[in-house]
């Protein structure tokens, strides 16, 4: 069994265990197949969603976790936002006050989005405006880039803290310039 399949099985087991757990507080919500919407002026604490979507126009004061669905934030997510196998979109001028974590998902960040801590996008795509502010120490996104059948970059995992200096070394043709172009945003990943 491949590592990816083992990881997927563990995620599914965790998802079903969480789904079987009743909500912990009055304004917590756990849904399986039913969408969660937090309208303008409304507040929710924790939200866990399986095979559905979460739309936050108001305020979320706890963790937002979505498995196999989508999350859309146009309001304020005051804690962690985690998305597995789906899509996540944070609109212009919205914020996630703690970590924003996306696994096997499409992640889109609008203009003037503020991420209070770390931004992690693993095995998915990240489309971020240049004005995104990440106040944490890390932005993590493995890079994969193919030119036709040729893998120029494969599984590059780069993590750089704000106070670090980094040097990229390698032989001619090893992908140094391509990696720098991806970081600068002038080369799209495929």
Q: What is the pLDDT of residues 157-174, one digit of tens each?
A: 666 666 777 777 777 777
According to the model, what pLDDT value does residue 21 have? 54
Q: Is residue 80 part of a domain?
A: yes
> Do 122 and 165 have their domain in common?
no
Structurally, how many domains does the chain consist of?
A: 2
Is 12 inside a domain boundary? yes
Q: Are residues 174 and 81 in the same domain?
A: no
Range of 9's domain?
A: 3-140
Same domain, 131 and 148: no
Between 1 and 111, the higher pLDDT residue? 111
Q: Say if residue 148 is in the same domain as residue 134.
A: no
pLDDT at 54: 92
- Examine the domain organization and report whether 83 and 175 are in the same domain: no
Residue 25 has pLDDT above 70, yes or no: no
Same domain for 89 and 168, yes or no, is no
Residue 34 forms part of a structural domain: yes
167 and 79 belong to one structural domain: no
28 within domain boundaries: yes
Residues 124-133 have a mean pLDDT of 73
**Domain-embedded: residue 126:** yes
Q: Evaluate if residue 178 carries a pLDDT over 80.
A: no
Same domain, 13 and 95: yes
Q: How far is CA 120 from CA 98, 117, 157, in A?
A: 11, 10, 11
**Do residues 152 and 133 both lie within one domain?**
no
- DSSP percent split of the chain into helix, strand, coil, nearest 5: 15, 40, 45
How would you list the strands of the sheet with 114-115, edge to edge? 43-44, 59-60, 76-77, 95-96, 114-115, 133-134
**113 in the same domain as 48:** yes
Give the mean model confidence (pLDDT) for residues 84-88: 88
**Domain assignment present for 190:** no
The helix (H) or strand (E) run that includes residue 59 is strand 59-60
Residue 158: Cβ-neighbour burial (10 angstroms; 0-12, 13-18, 19+): middle
Q: Does any domain span residue 89?
A: yes
Query: Kind of pairing, strands 143-147 and 150-156?
Result: antiparallel
Cα–Cα distance for residue pair 116/24, rounded to 1 Å: 25
Predicted local distance difference test score (pLDDT) of residue 1: 44
Identify whether residues 102 and 18 lie together within a single domain.
Answer: yes
Residue 88 in tokens: 């996540």
Judge if 28 and 40 occupy the same domain.
yes
């Amino acid at each position: 069994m491949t590592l990816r399949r083992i990881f997927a099985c563990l995620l599914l087991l965790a998802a079903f265990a969480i789904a079987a757990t009743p909500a912990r507080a009055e304004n917590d919500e756990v849904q399986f197949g039913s969408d969660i919407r937090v309208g303008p002026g409304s507040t929710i604490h924790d939200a866990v969603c399986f095979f559905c979507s979460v739309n936050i126009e108001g305020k979320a004061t706890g963790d937002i976790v979505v498995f196999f669905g989508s999350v859309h934030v146009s309001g304020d997510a005051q804690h962690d936002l985690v998305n597995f196998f789906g899509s996540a979109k944070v609109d212009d001028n919205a914020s996630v006050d703690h970590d924003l974590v996306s696994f096997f998902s499409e992640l889109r960040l609008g203009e003037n989005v503020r991420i209070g801590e770390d931004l992690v996008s693993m095995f998915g795509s990240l489309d971020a405006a240049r004005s995104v502010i990440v106040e944490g120490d890390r932005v993590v996104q493995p890079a994969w880039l193919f030119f036709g059948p040729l893998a120029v970059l494969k599984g590059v995992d780069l993590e750089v803290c704000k106070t670090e200096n980094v040097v990229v070394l390698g032989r001619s043709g090893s992908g140094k310039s391509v990696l720098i172009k991806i970081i600068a945003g002038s080369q799209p990943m495929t």
